[in-house]
Amino acid sequence: MAHENSKMQTPLRRVRGLGTAHEGTGHFWVQRLTAVSNIPLVLFFVGLMIALDGRNFADTRAVIGNPIVALPLLLALLSILTHMRLGMQVIIEDYVHSALLKPVLVMLNTFYVVVIGAVSAFAILKLAFGG
C-alpha cells in the first residue's frame, strides 16, 4: 500500500520525505552553514593566536577577558565542534557497516564533542571572567 502511495507523490514530495533517516536536508544545511561560519571564525582565531604569540599569561587573560574576543571564541568553538560532529557522523554512517558498531561510534562521536566543548568553553570562560 505504501508503495502505491509513493507512485501518487510528485518527485518533490518524495524528496521531502528525507530518505530513511528522515533528517537528511537539515543535516545537509547545518553542515553547510557551519562550514561558511567557520571561515571568519577560524580566521579570527588564527589572527588572535598570532597576536597572542609571545605574550605572558596576564596579557592573554586580559585579551580573552574582553567580551569582543571571548564571544567569537565561544562561537568558533560551537561552530567548529558542530561541523566536526556532523562530518564524522557522515563518515561513520557511510563507512562503518556493522549494525552494532555504528550506533556506538555515533554516540562516542557525540560524547567526544560534548566533552571537548565543555572543557574548552570552561577554559575560555575561566580566562574571560578571571579565576
Secondary element (H or E) of residue 130: none
Indicate whether 107 belongs to any domain. yes
Indicate whether 79 belongs to any domain. yes
Cell triple for residue 107? 554516540
Per-residue pLDDT tens digits for 1-45: 555 555 665 666 566 555 555 567 888 899 999 999 999 999 999
Cell triple for residue 26? 537539515
Domain carrying residue 122: 24-129
How many domains is the chain built from? 1
What residue spans of 24-100 are helical by DSSP H? Answer: 24-52, 57-64, 67-95
Indicate whether 109 belongs to any domain. yes
CB neighbour list of residue 48: distance below 8 Å, 6 or more residues apart: 63, 69, 73
| pLDDT value at 102 more than 80 | yes
Higher pLDDT, 129 or 8: 129
Q: Other CB atoms closer than 10 Å to residue 109's CB: what's the count?
A: 18
Distance CA 83, CA 89 (A): 10
Residue 19 has a pLDDT of 52
Q: Other CB atoms closer than 10 Å to residue 20's CB: what's the count?
A: 7
- The domain that contains 64 carries what CATH number? 1.20.1300.10
Indicate whether 17 belongs to any domain. no
Higher pLDDT, 20 or 76: 76
DSSP-assigned letter for residue 22: T
